[in-house]
Structure formats: C-alpha cells, structure tokens
Amino acid sequence: MRPMPTVRLRAWVLAAAVPVLILTACGTGGAADDGQALTLYSGRNEALVQPILDAFAAESGIEVAVRYGGTAEMAAQLLEEGDRSPADVFLAQDAGALGALAAEDMLAPLPQETLEQVPQAYRSAEGDWVGLTGRARVLVYNEDAVGVDQLPESVFELTEEEWRGRVGIAPTNASFQSFVTAMRLMHGDEVTQQWLEDLAANDPQAREKNGVLVADVDAGVFDDALVNHYYLFEKAQEDGVAPEELDTSLHFFEDGDAGALVNISGIGALGADVSPAAQELIDYLLSEAGQEYFRDETHEYPMVEGIAADAQLPPLASIGQPDIDLNDLDDLQTTVQMISEAGLS
C-alpha cells in the first residue's frame, strides 16, 4: 500500500472533533446469539442508510449495530481506536476517508469477485475498499437569479467579483474537502490555497450541510452553491414535488474541471480479514436490491454494471470528470488545514 506518514494521520485525529456517536441496532433480535452480528461505523446519514440496513438484517438474520457520525470524524475515530476498534465495517461518503484508513493498513483485502463488480476507477487500487455509489459535484443555482448564459464554465470563476456574496459552500463537509483535495492534485497546493483565499475574500455563504445550501438557494437566500448532485432530489422529496418544480437546477462544470469531480460513497472492512458477516453486508449493498435502493432513494449513481442510473440524471460516462485517481484523495488533514488557514472554517 502507499505509505502515509503516521504523524500526519494522528494530527488529523487530534484536529477532528469527534462527536457523540449514535449507536443504533437493527436485526431480528436472535441473530447476535448465533454469532451473526457486526458493527458498522457509518459516515453517511442515518435517514439514508438505516432503511437499507434494516432490509439487510431482515433478509440475512445478521444484527447490525451502527455508529453514525460525519465521515471525517468517523475515520478519525477509527484511527484513534486502531486495533481496539469494535468496528467490522466502515461506510464512508468519500474515497479520501477510506484511503486514509487503507494507508494505515486498517482495511482488509476484499475478494477479487467483489472488486470486479465495480469499475476500476471507483475502487481501491490495493483492493481494500470498493465504491457503492457515485456522486457528482455540481453547482446548484436559482433559475430566477442566474441565467443559463451566466453559468460559470469553471469553478475557478466563482472567485470573480460578479459572484461576490452569491456562492454557498459547506467547508467542513467531507464532500467539499474531497473536492479541494482533488484541486490540489490537479493544480498544486499553491494554486489551491490561492483559490481558497480568493473564495474567502469573495464573501461566500457558509453552511454546515449541503442540504441547507440547496434549501437556501431554492428560497433565494443566495444564488448558487457547490454541492453533490443528489441534494436537489432530496429537497424535491422533502417538498413533495418533482425536481423540475423547484426554482433550482443543476449545472455541471466543463470537462476536466476540478468542480466536475465524481466521488464515491464506499465501504471497507476493518482488520486483517473480512468477516463472513461483513462480506455478506458488502455483497448485499452491491446487489441489485442495494444498488437500486441508492438509485431510487438517494438518486446517486449505481456502481455495478447493468443497473441503470436515474433517468433524470445525465449518464455517468457523459460527465467530464477530471482525470484523477480517487485513491489519491487521502490527504484530508492537509486539506482541512488549508481550508482553515484561508478563513473558511
């Protein structure tokens, strides 16, 4: 595996404020008595994940105890716990957190048949984590405030004077941090730090969560925001309307732009080997039932070939995502430090 200095990871652990973790159990009740149980650390929202875990537990008879928190915080918790961690599986909302654990040899190698279900671009080069869903970075914009002919071609344009006070961001969110890490890989730390400082100087509208950004854009509080694509669909579901009935639309940046990053939510097993229960969960989430759940309920891109994406989305292959390796998004601590030094968090 690619080496990663332990001191850098430990600094990230100390910098991350680990919240109180919510422990939720799902299952048939008698599963644990038969030794069929596992503990999952989830960096994904309980409202999104718990229904599919309940379905897995009901079908498999395996009890799943879940600890919920932010992806970066959960990864930091696992790094701090090390070999003492009770976790069997880690579900993350971005590749960077999985890569950070893999760099510390905390993830078990997955079977080749599991890895081969997912395109090579969306799984670990070392075979120790696999993507479950694809999530494209976009600019959501209020149609009444921004004309189609005014939309930026590149994320770098958002630091220009015309966008002063109009752009929403979630600087403490893992998806924003992974996007910034991708920019670092593409353009270097100096260019990225300058972009962050220019953005900070342009009076951005900071929020903690992507969903809040979309709600504020739709309400006209500000004009646009950098988020993952599926939050627009989440907003439509909350309002009980079709996405096209919102005042907000998705804008995909030009081919190869850092703002067009397609990241993954993914999963890895903790320890030297994948336990049978952990493998069964991973297989279930990559099954037709699991992939269709994420497509239909969260509107993310399926990762398994043969399972069609939501018809309301452009095909994944048509998005001009930048040419970077998701395995290289593991230096989250430096990114978090750069965002903070720019005054964005």
pLDDT in tens, the chain (345 residues): 333 333 344 344 434 434 434 556 565 433 344 558 999 999 998 988 999 999 999 999 999 999 999 888 899 999 999 999 999 999 999 998 999 999 999 999 999 999 999 999 999 999 999 999 999 999 999 999 999 999 999 999 999 999 999 999 999 988 899 999 999 999 999 999 999 999 999 999 999 999 999 999 999 999 999 999 999 999 999 999 999 999 999 999 999 999 999 999 999 999 999 999 999 999 999 999 999 999 999 999 999 989 999 999 999 989 999 999 998 998 888 999 999 999 998
What SS3 state is found at 208?
coil
What b/e sequence results for 111-142 when a residue is b if at least 16 CB atoms lie within 10 Å of its CB, and e otherwise? eeebbebbeeebbbebbbbbbbbbbbbbbbbb
Q: Which residue has the tokens 């498999």?
A: 60
Is 135-261+336-341 in CATH node 3.30.1200.10?
Answer: no
- Region of 271 please: left (phi>0), alpha (psi -120 to 50) or beta: left
The domain limits of the chain are 6-134+263-312, 135-261+336-341
Q: Are 266 and 131 in contact (CB under 8 A)?
A: yes
What SS3 state is found at 153?
coil
Q: What is the pLDDT of residue 72?
A: 85
**135-261+336-341 has the same fold as 6-134+263-312:** yes
pTM: 0.86
What DSSP character marks residue 273? Answer: S
Greatest pairwise CA separation for the chain in angstroms = 63
Q: Which of 194, 226, 184, 183 is CA-nearest to residue 207?
A: 226
Would you tell me how many other CB atoms lie within 10 Å of the CB of residue 271?
15
Distance CA 99, CA 183 (A): 17
- Please name the amino acid found at residue 152: P
Angle (CA) 99 104 105, round 5°: 95
Q: What is the pLDDT of residue 37?
A: 93
6-134+263-312 folds as D-Maltodextrin-Binding Protein; domain 2 (3.40.190)
Q: 6: which 2 tokens?
A: 């332990």
What SS3 state is found at 328?
helix
Distance CA 19, CA 74 (A): 9
Cα distances from 30 to residues 35, 41, 56, 58, 89, in angstroms, run 9, 22, 15, 11, 21
Distance CA 163, CA 106 (A): 43
What SS3 state is found at 195?
helix
Helix, strand and coil percent figures for the chain, each rounded to 5: 45, 20, 35
